[in-house]
Chain A
């Protein structure tokens, strides 16, 4: 059957960008600047899409060669931060370890200041209203350099969305890319669905750039980070269902580090602003027990074991306190709340909350969004294992956060003209489109089935109960068994009463795939390291030094392997001399 008869709409483009967050906008803007025909598909609305739109107010600029801070130094610091292994000084001891290709990190840090200039060209405010940059003190513990910018990004996304459109990018809002299309070993486009009309769309592309977000929704929706507070259902419709991860995995790409989670406190709605003090003002607030005794929580292992001990002794819940801080810092919290979520100020007032006398609740500890390490495994050109698929931002292994998303987006955008020039015309396999269409639209035909949120909550329950911070073989296997049961019984019964619900159903399908990938990766890594804790393997296994888990589908079956993360090339490493 002709493609036009299968799909409601067929588009052809040089570059298809999946996701309209920071990474997606940067890559799209730069590629369009070079004259490419670029289509950006965003399942919500680019004006307010992506993680940064839910609040961010710091940006790490990268190397500052004029001040003597090299990319090499930053690469060392970054790999140290990733592991969070405790030492007597509270700093990580495995500073030389790596969880991704250090050469990619090197390039990103090296081009950090260039990316800041590029963001400014898009109209993104990097300076403060007084016309100056505002650097925060010593955030990465380099000891002598300030490299984190405090930024006022309340409107960063509307600004970027407008800039992207101005450069001629064809923006498809409310369009969820569901699956990638491959032909002769190469990805040649994708299928998508309009989340308002249900229109089924085929997009032919010479290159597909995945710039979607994390898959945090396999855990409960609180964001347990003291310095941030991004997603919570009563605040924001959460979009982080790993659509790019899952689409890439299903078509044969490799996923890396899928066992890794961060950890943090589950925070009260208002703790966000106070938590930001440590991140953007260099002054961490005090952590107090409910009795008012101050405690330290410097790293993963000590904080987890300490919290357990405090629970037993009846010293929890914990609170963050700004009571002793000077007035300036209370005002800074206000500015942070205004910048990240204006409604917080109203909420605080309605509650009668006074930060000068009240405390912010911040416990207990839980795993959170898969920050920093996991993602699609890429080479130094941001290319996945598959021809035609490139990945940037939170979907790329080791490149998370707005300050990585922007540089890698711009760098890839610079390279896309040469990539697409040699790509050839995309040839679509119509049978594959037909098969994807049937799978995608199936929930629309189900009556009296399962609501997507019911299944999503069940997935979360399994991850919270059987994976969580403290992992063991038995719990992981039971979690996998339960997921398998859900998949068999309930996935085919997912019901979409309208196209919006169809999007939710497709998100749940992605979460189901990724929860399985996550558990399989945890089963493979039989050791304890940093905040990755296997109760049945409590010691660090040195054969895992610098090794990462890699997963892919082979003939429809999941394969997990252990692989060495590439070290810095000699030409970069020699800078050390």
Chain B
């Protein structure tokens, strides 16, 4: 696990994928970031498993189990 306060992690360039798309669109069309975000968002949402019940339930249950163990330990 990286050190939270380590400067080197701030030196590594990271671009949020959605923000990158928004910026590209805004620059290409010479429109505001907000207007660009409205155009790119619907497609971006399709790349996220919002409607995958099995995945969603598995993640929630995994987290609930972790929290229960942590509460028990505390």
Binding site for B on A (CB under 8 A): 90, 128-130, 132, 134, 137, 152, 154-155, 282-284, 290, 292, 294-296, 298, 319, 323, 326, 328-329, 331-332, 334-335, 338, 342, 345-346, 348-349, 351-354, 356-359
Contacts and interface: CB of A to CB of B under 8 A. Distances in A.
A517 B66 CA distance: 43
Given A129-B45, A319-B4, A332-B48, A353 B55 contact: no
B9 A335 contact: no
Nearest to B18: A334
23 contacts: A90-B71, A129-B41, A154-B38, A283-B60, A284-B63, A290-B4, A292-B1, A292-B4, A296-B67, A298-B71, A328-B49, A331-B44, A332-B48, A334-B16, A334-B18, A335-B44, A338-B41, A342-B33, A345-B22, A349-B14, A349-B16, A354-B9, A358-B9
Given A331-B47, A338-B41, A354 B12 contact: yes
Contacts of B70: 294-296
B60 A137 contact: yes
B18 A352 contact: no
4 cross-chain pairs, A with B, having the tightest CB-CB distances, nearest first: A354-B14, A345-B19, A129-B42, A352-B10
A329 B10 CA distance: 22
Contacts of A155: 38
A294 B63 CA distance: 13
B18 A331 contact: yes
Most buried by B among A154, A298, A357: A357
B56 to A, nearest CB: 7
A417 B15 CA distance: 54
B48 A335 contact: yes
B16 A348 contact: yes
Nearest to B57: A137
B74 interface: yes
Nearest to B11: A352
Contacts of A132: 51
Contacts of B33: 342, 346
Contacts of B46: 130
Majority DSSP secondary structure for residues of A touching B? loop
Contacts of A329: 59
A420 B25 CA distance: 51
Given A284-B63, A331-B18, A296 B71 contact: yes
B4 A338 contact: no
A128 B13 CA distance: 32
A95 B37 CA distance: 43
B54 to A, nearest CB: 13
Contact of A137 (B9, B37, B51, B56): B56
Contacts of B4: 290, 292, 319, 358-359
Contacts of B42: 129
A332 B63 CA distance: 16
A352 B60 CA distance: 30
A352 B14 contact: yes
A511 B70 CA distance: 42
A359 B12 CA distance: 15
Contacts of A294: 70
A130 B45 contact: yes
Interface in B19-48: 19, 22, 33-34, 37-38, 41-42, 44-48
Nearest to A291: B4
Contacts of A358: 4, 9-10
Identify the interface centre among B11, B19, B38, B49: most chain A CB within 10 Å of its CB.
Answer: B19
A129 B59 CA distance: 24
Nearest to A338: B37
A345 B11 contact: no
B74 A296 contact: yes
